[in-house]
Amino acid sequence: MKLLAIDGNSILNRAFYGIRLLSNKKGVFTNAVFGFMNIYLKNVSDVHPDAVAVAFDLRSPTFRHKAAAYYKANRKGMPEELAQQLPIVKELLGLMGVKVVECEGYEADDVLGTLSKLCSDNGDKCYVLTGDRDSLQLIDDNVTVLLATNKETIHYTPQKFMEDYGFEPIKLIDLKALMGDSSDNIPGVAGIGEKTASSLIKEYGTIEKLYEVYEDSSLTKGVKAKLANGIDSAKESKWLATIVRDAPIDKVLKDYIPSPADNAAISSLLTELEMFKLLDKLGISASEAEAAVPVQTVEHTPVEVELKPLTAGDVKSFDEVSYLFDGTVLSVRSGDTVLSTKETDEILAFLSSPCKKITIDAKPHYRYAMANGISLCGLSCDAALCGYLLNTSASDYTIEKLCAEYGVHYCTENGEFADLVSLKELTEKLLAEVDREGMTDLLYNIEMPLTEVLASMEHTGIKITEQGVKEFGTSLSEMIEETQQMIYDDAGHEFNISSPKQLGEVLFGEMGLPAKKKTKSGYSTSADVLEDLRYEFPIVDNVLKYRQYTKLNSTYVAGLLDKIAPDGRIHTCFRQTETRTGRISSTEPNMQNIPVRTELGSQMRKFFTAEEGRVLVDADYSQIELRVMAHLCGDKNMISAFTSGEDIHTSTAAQVFDVPSIMVTPEMRSAAKAVNFGIIYGIGAFSLSKDIGTSVQQAKRYIDDYLAKYPKVHEFMESTVDNAMKTGVVTTMFGRKRRIPELASSNKVLQAAGKRIAMNTPVQGSAADLIKIAMINVYRRLKAEKLDAELILQVHDELIIESDVSCAEKCAEILQEEMQGVYDMKVPLAVDVHQGQSWYDAKG
């Protein structure tokens, strides 16, 4: 038999600190549950055990604590966010049929020790999964310890242990008896460190043998004195470090074979926790949760649907329907009838009909209609958009998962039509929730219309010159080769520049450059470490250039070439339900990440062009987030700077440095710019000092002076955070909401991160909503005025139209008018508009 014995507390701790804080809408934290189950499932998959036991510590003192009050006395209590997840993990394991083992007076380690000995005695195999090296003493020919580390899980067999330590696993307790263990507050022998302790154990084997002969040995006087003074401590430390192998637990191995899982109860628990990814990993349907609820309490009326083919005559009779369309099959529910078709004519007739329609993920439907020369009409609700507005943290918004999340019956009894039959009731519930949260206007005036705009932009795409990309790639390859050779020349030999370990050894080990950070795996070669050395050491400058060139080549050159469609255009996929702030993102390729900050990166914009006889018209908001901040906080000094047409950074510099604007130096303006944008993101003095190259004290003065000159900014941010701390939610100008579980954390670092999110989201989210409204208005103006032009791209605060040359000026005018007049603000919105044959030229 093969047993997987898991150190529950150790793995739960590792999971908690390894995944950012997550919670459901009710504020119940879930990150440790998710992480624990990921580790559990991976190891079950790797080991294929016949039996599983998960050992946990109890809160009551053990025999060790009673004998030595100092034992683990330095341990901090479990954070509240983790403590509330412990019973959830135990409940989940129980529902999965996995035995949880706890033993009064003993530690989880002792349970693992007892189980491992049971396997060894019976000739069975035991795999101990833990993040604690204490369990390595349990290793023998039948017991393997799976040591979970930050990077990997190390399989410790007797051979592997001997390779790493140089002595047998059982002697780990003797090592600890000498060197002690600060994490468990085991004292060891004062003055004996790991290196000395290890050499003593390799030579003498055990502390008992060591103490028999140490006085007559060749050890130094100092070591002998330390051993003499620490004899009692060594013995007690060994006793404390020794894992018990006969704890009073169930010793029948077959009792640890998992019993059948209660899938319905698991579904119910994980649905309540909104852990749908975990449900997927477990292969359990969200709809199975209903089986855990007594039949009489499930409020739904069974729908017996009649199935028939969809005809053109049916389409004309529709008034209000729900439908699903996967690009091939259209299924429509009208009353108790489900009508389906694969025929293009019927599909187009339905999509263009004026009847009221509800669906989910409508963007592909708009694209299908556009590709066939018609318009999708009558769309009254998209369930995915409702789900997104109500919970921006979800990973996806399927009908089944939304039904589970919002307590709507998922109609599994209707088989392949379960999604379609469930959609109407689900949509009604979602719309009621959206209205209760005050986001109905946001749904109907921004998100729903935006779907059509994004579909149009995807459908049209943007032209790209394939040959130009290839030539750029060739040029980059030459630069990579040249830079690589320069690095080799400086180092004196060839090595793998892309290997952090090899690079660190060359820079800091061989060449002796000043190292900033060192980890267990070697020297840190992160960007922030290398940037500090860039201008002092040419090899570091070349390494950073090499990284830039290789990233451009692999991510963008190869990535763009792979995405060029037969029409010679890139058709990116815009994601409307991806980000937590409400910003639009894009994939395949990610147009939001086309690099522009470096001259080399900005050259890539030359590949994006207009068709012959056409031109790109580019409009970019100027400092939109600062203007949104001025509007939201109402600071008169900031408003005055914008309304008077001053350069905000010069104005801020004048305010902060208390000098006339005419005396502001470029250095002052640069510092003010960093403060202006940094304040929005909750920047601290340390980060600002690094950004502008000044002392932390000076950076703090800049921030303090800024907040003194713009007091309403400080008041707004403080009140936003205070309100978010009370409610757990922040809201934009247009009612968009974002939950911030980090604010409820007892961990000060996490809580500080939550406060920064709270400061930034109202500004960033409002700016995102403004550009969405502008996109809708520009799209509608172009159609209304029947211009030979299309809105084709949105990148951050920038919109691009591809226009026939004859109407380019009109398009520029529309962009200017719609973007500046998007909303009645306390400060004017400034927009820079330019034209050009390429995106590079159109940036002006």
pLDDT tens, position by position, 615-652: 999 999 999 999 999 999 999 988 998 998 888 888 88
Instruction: Band the pLDDT of 233: cuts 50, 70, 90.
Output: confident
What is d(CA 332, CA 322) in angstroms, rounded to the nearest whole number? 6
Instruction: Determine the pLDDT at residue 294.
Output: 44
pLDDT of 296 > 60? The answer is no
Q: What is the pLDDT of residue 300?
A: 62
pLDDT mean across residues, the chain: 89
pLDDT of residue 70: 74
Q: Are strands 737-739 and 789-795 parallel, antiparallel or unpaired?
A: unpaired
Q: What is the pLDDT of residue 174?
A: 87
Cα(183)–Cα(756) distance, rounded to whole angstroms? Answer: 32
Confidence band, pLDDT 50/70/90 cuts, at residue 295: very low
141-155, 237-251, 692-706: which has the minimum mean pLDDT? Answer: 692-706
* Alpha carbon distance 131, 148 (integer Å): 5
Chain Cα centroid distance, residue 798: 25
Tokens of 769: 């909503």
- Degrees, nearest 5: CA angle 589-590-596: 115
DSSP string, 333-380: EETTEEEEE--HHHHHHHHHS-SEEEES--HHHHHHHHHTT-----EE
Q: What are phi and psi of 230, to 5 degrees?
A: -110, 15
Q: Residue 297: is its pLDDT beyond 50?
A: no
Q: What is the 3-state secondary structure (H, E, C) of 414-459?
A: HHHHHHHHHHHHHHHHHHHHHHHCCCHHHHHHHHHHHHHHHHHHHH
Identify the pLDDT of residue 291: 55
- Residue type, position 418, single letter: A
CB contact set of 811 (below 8 Å; sequence gap of 6+) = 617, 782, 787, 789, 801, 803
Name the helix (H) or strand (E) containing 2.
strand 2-7
With pLDDT > 70 as the criterion, what percentage of the chain qualifies? 97
Output Rg (C-alpha) for the chain, integer angstroms. Answer: 32
Tens-place pLDDT, residues 167-208: 889 988 888 888 888 777 788 788 888 888 888 888 888 878
Q: Are strands 379-382 and 356-359 parallel, antiparallel or unpaired?
A: parallel
Amino acid at 832: D
Contact 84, 35 (CB under 8 A): no
Whether the per-residue pLDDT at 614 is higher than 90: the answer is yes
724-746 confidence digits (pLDDT tens): 999 999 999 999 999 988 888 77
559: pLDDT confidence band, cut at 50, 70 and 90?
Answer: confident
Higher per-residue pLDDT: 18 or 129: 129
pLDDT class for 509, splitting at 50, 70, 90?
A: confident
Cα 473 to Cα 719: distance, rounded to the nearest angstrom: 50
Determine how many CB atoms are found less than 10 A away from the CB of residue 592: 16
Helices 711-727 and 748-784: angle between axes, nearest 10 degrees: 110
Torsion sign over Cα 57, 60, 62, 64: positive
**pLDDT of amino acid 841:** 92
First to last CA, the chain: 72
Structural domains of the chain, ranges and CATH numbers in brackets: 2-256 (3.40.50.1010), 299-461 (3.30.420.10), 487-570 (1.20.1060.10), 625-762 (1.10.150.20)
CB neighbour burial string for 532-554, b if at least 16 within 10 angstroms, e if fewer? ebeeebebbbbbbbbbbbbebbe
User: Tell me, what's the pLDDT at 298?
Assistant: 47
- Calculate mean pLDDT across residues 816-833: 95
511-538 pLDDT, tens per residue?
988 877 766 567 888 887 888 888 889 9
pLDDT in tens, 60-84: 788 777 777 777 776 677 788 898 8
Reply yes or no on whether the pLDDT at 597 is more than 50. Answer: yes
Q: Give the predicted TM-score (pTM) of the model.
A: 0.79
Does 334 or 694 have the greater pLDDT score?
334
Top pLDDT among 371 and 77 is at 371
Buried b (16+ CB within 10 A) or exposed e, 351-374: bbbebebbbbbbbebbbbbbeeee
pLDDT digit string, tens, across residues 447-505 = 999 999 999 999 999 999 999 999 999 999 999 999 999 999 999 999 999 998 899 99
pLDDT per residue over 764-821, tens digit each? 999 999 999 999 999 999 999 999 999 999 998 999 999 999 999 999 999 999 999 9
